[in-house]
């Protein structure tokens, strides 16, 4: 089976240059750190485009496929521009993500709005900018969406999000398809929702079903299982309610390689299973082959991203752990603290050093749990060394915070030896720009 970019630990352009330094996108990583300071998010454009092309090629045998990038993984104007250029639509989960892709000039008919508690303002924005599909999550939202659409004298094109009762073996916080979930209609609630749309909510048109079964998925059988349930439901709904639902959104969730121990399936392997299953269920349940929506996020952006840090202090616990501190940590990458996520790293300026030691990489934030990587073998670290952490494109910047009142890092895009800032580093003035002091407190 053909390999795909999500199966690589490092960006495709990663190499050691003539100086003995790490190089990505034709750019010396040490020089990037000097030029833009650290912490620094770096995105390799070639790797990002490569995985997009993997997906398009893998699903090319099923022409009724709509590729939707899950924006929550990383949503910036430049990233949206690249994804749109590669032919992707966008799965958005907030007004902010909708507005970002809209301002980037994205074709809004290729955008879907998803989420379990969309606000009045967000739904209004989605309708005003012409979002192509709204994935309706619950009865409250059905009523609210119909009310807004009715006030604008339009019909909202929608999918019903369901919980198919499938549980994938990922971290419990990122399982979304099992029965006890905050997301979506239970299978026993679908008929009531359809009846409301047919009889009361005349400003909503349902085109199909949407489900999402988790994230960082390595199990190849789980997507066909999901399709089986959704196709059976569509067949039943069409017959019972005399409808013609013809769209299936199976979400995303394909895993990536954070460490050498991770062996995610390729996009080609997953695509073959999904396409074969779609043909099988179409015949089995006598339905038209459905239009497929698939929403990869992590597997699109993660491998293309790395984060650079500068090494600072260190502490050797007597007869115990050696801690080496960097100038970032849980505020720019909360995943190790939240999910016990594991990462791989190299020292960018010591690629050819063979003398190593076992250390734990600690963050600079005031939490004892701010540990980025436990027990990793690296060349002996000194103040000023540049640490490159791999596979940080997804859910690092997008989950970053200003904890300890620290500015969020800059982000650069690298390609063909050129680097461009795509997110400015926050300044101290940025940190206080929204602060206000009431007049009664001023002296």
**Would you list the DSSP string of 370-391?**
-EEEEEEEEEPP-TT-EEEEES
User: Is pLDDT of 15 > 50?
Assistant: yes
Please tell me the predicted confidence (pLDDT) of residue 354. Answer: 83
Report the C-alpha gap between 125 and 95 in whole angstroms: 7
CATH class for the domain made up of 5-40+305-432:
mainly beta
CB atoms within 10 A of CB 362: 22
Q: Which of 210, 234, 22, 59 is nearest to 134 (CA)?
A: 210
More confident residue, 182 or 56: 56
* Percentages of the chain per state (helix, strand, coil), in multiples of 5: 35, 25, 40
Residue 160 has φ and ψ, to the nearest 5°, of -95, 125
Confidence of residue 180 (pLDDT cuts 50, 70, 90): low
The domain ranges of the chain are: 5-40+305-432, 44-301
Q: What is the CATH number of domain 44-301?
A: 3.20.20.10
Report the C-alpha gap between 296 and 212 in whole angstroms: 11
Q: Please write the tens of the pLDDT for every residue from 26-35.
A: 999 999 999 9
- Burial (Cβ within 10 Å: 0-12, 13-18, ≥19) of residue 392: buried
Task: State whether residue 117 is helix, strand or coil.
Answer: coil
Confidence of residue 368 (pLDDT cuts 50, 70, 90): very high
Please tell me the predicted confidence (pLDDT) of residue 184. Answer: 81
Residues of the chain with pLDDT > 90: what percent?
Answer: 89
Q: Please write the tens of the pLDDT for every residue from 50-105.
A: 999 999 999 999 999 999 999 999 999 999 999 999 999 999 999 999 999 999 99
Contacts of residue 46, Cβ cutoff 8 Å, sequence gap at least 6: 11, 12, 13, 25, 415
Confidence of residue 39 (pLDDT cuts 50, 70, 90): very high
Contact yes or no for 234/277 (Cβ under 8 A): no
Q: Which of 174, 198, 194 is nearest to 185 (CA)?
A: 194
- The dihedral built from the CA positions of residue 371, 372, 375 and 381, taken in this order, carries a sign that is negative
Residue 40 to residues 43, 131, 136: CA-CA distances in angstroms? 10, 33, 37
User: Is pLDDT of 177 > 50?
Assistant: no
User: Region 341-370: what's the mean pLDDT?
Assistant: 94
Confidence of residue 164 (pLDDT cuts 50, 70, 90): confident
Give me the active site residues, please: 366
Please tell me the predicted confidence (pLDDT) of residue 351. Answer: 85
User: Region 304-314: what's the mean pLDDT?
Assistant: 98
Torsion of CA 226, 227, 230, 233, to 10 degrees: -120
Q: Kindly report whether the global pTM for this prediction surpasses the value 0.85.
A: yes
Q: Please write the tens of the pLDDT for every residue from 399-436.
A: 999 999 999 999 999 999 999 999 999 999 999 999 99
Residue 140 to residues 31, 91, 119, 158: CA-CA distances in angstroms? 53, 21, 11, 15
Q: Please write the tens of the pLDDT for every residue from 105-135.
A: 999 999 999 999 999 999 999 999 999 999 9
User: Is pLDDT of 385 > 80?
Assistant: yes
Average pLDDT, the chain: 94
Contact yes or no for 243/206 (Cβ under 8 A): yes
Please tell me the predicted confidence (pLDDT) of residue 339. Answer: 87
Q: Helix/strand/coil (H, E, C) string of 192-261?
A: HHHHHHHHCCCCEEEEEEECCCCCCECCCCHHHHHHHHHHHHHHHHHHHHCCCCCEEECCCCECCCCCCC
Contacts of residue 439, Cβ cutoff 8 Å, sequence gap at least 6: none
Residue 293 has φ and ψ, to the nearest 5°, of -105, 130
Most confident of 177-191, 202-216, 301-315: 301-315
Please compute, for residue 434, the number of CA atoms within 13 A of its CA located in the half-sphere on the CB side: 2
Residue 259 has φ and ψ, to the nearest 5°, of -135, 170
Q: Please write the tens of the pLDDT for every residue from 145-156.
A: 999 999 999 999
Report the C-alpha gap between 324 and 359 in whole angstroms: 7
Please tell me the predicted confidence (pLDDT) of residue 408. Answer: 98
User: Is pLDDT of 172 > 50?
Assistant: no
Q: Per the omega criterion (within 30 degrees of 0), is the bond before 39 cis?
A: yes
| Cα three-residue angle 380-385-387, rounded to 5 degrees | 90
Report the C-alpha gap between 88 and 83 in whole angstroms: 5
Report the C-alpha gap between 373 and 368 in whole angstroms: 13
CB atoms within 10 A of CB 70: 28
Residue 35: DSSP 8-state: H
> Rg of the Cα trace of the chain?
23
Contacts of residue 268, Cβ cutoff 8 Å, sequence gap at least 6: 1, 2, 3, 4, 54, 57, 58
Residue 22 to residues 10, 186, 393: CA-CA distances in angstroms? 11, 50, 18
Q: Which of 258, 379, 241, 361 is nearest to 309 (CA)?
A: 361
């Amino acid at each position: 089976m053909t390999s795909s970019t999500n199966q690589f630990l490092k960006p495709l352009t990663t190499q050691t240059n003539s100086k003995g330094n790490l190089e990505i996108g034709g750019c010396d990583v040490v020089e990037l750190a000097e030029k833009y300071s650290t912490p620094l998010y770096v995105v390799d454009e070639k790797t990002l485009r490569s995985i997009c092309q993997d997906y398009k090629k893998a699903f090319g045998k099923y022409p009724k496929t709509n590729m939707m990038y899950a924006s929550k993984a990383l949503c910036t104007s430049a990233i949206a521009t690249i994804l749109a250029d590669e032919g992707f639509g966008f799965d958005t989960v907030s007004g902010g993500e909708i507005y970002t892709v809209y301002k980037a000039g994205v074709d809004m008919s290729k955008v879907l709005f998803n989420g379990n508690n969309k606000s009045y303002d967000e739904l209004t924005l989605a309708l005003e900018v012409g979002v192509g599909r709204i994935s309706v999550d619950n009865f409250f939202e059905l009523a609210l969406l119909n009310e807004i659409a009715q006030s604008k004298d339009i019909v909202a094109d929608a999918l019903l999000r369901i919980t198919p009762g499938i549980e994938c073996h990922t971290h419990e916080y990122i399982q979304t398809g099992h029965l006890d979930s905050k997301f979506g209609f239970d299978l026993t609630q679908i008929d009531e929702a359809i009846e409301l749309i047919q009889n009361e909510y005349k400003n909503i048109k349902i085109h199909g079903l949407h489900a999402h079964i988790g994230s960082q998925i390595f199990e190849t059988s789980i997507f066909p299982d999901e399709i089986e349930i959704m196709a059976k439901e569509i067949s039943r709904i069409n017959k019972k309610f005399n409808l013609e639902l013809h769209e299936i959104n199976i979400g995303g969730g394909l895993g990536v390689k954070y460490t050498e121990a991770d062996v995610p399936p390729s996009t080609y392997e997953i695509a073959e299973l999904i396409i074969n299953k779609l043909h099988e269920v179409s015949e089995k349940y006598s339905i038209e082959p459905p239009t497929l929506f698939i929403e990869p996020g992590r597997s699109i952006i993660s491998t293309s991203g790395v984060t650079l840090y500068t090494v600072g202090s260190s502490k050797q616990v007597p007869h115990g752990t050696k801690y080496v501190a960097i100038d970032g940590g849980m505020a720019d990458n909360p995943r190790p603290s939240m999910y016990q996520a594991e990462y791989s790293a190299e020292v960018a300026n010591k690629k050819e050093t063979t003398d190593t030691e076992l250390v734990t990489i600690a963050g600079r934030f005031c939490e004892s749990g701010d540990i980025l990587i436990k027990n990793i073998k690296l060349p002996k670290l000194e103040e000023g060394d540049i640490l490159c952490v791999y596979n940080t494109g997804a859910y690092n910047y997008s989950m970053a915070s200003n904890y300890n009142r620290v500015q969020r890092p800059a982000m650069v895009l690298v390609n063909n030896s050129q680097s461009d800032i795509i997110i400015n580093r926050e300044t101290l003035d940025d940190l206080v720009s929204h602060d206000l002091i009431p007049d009664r407190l001023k002296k």
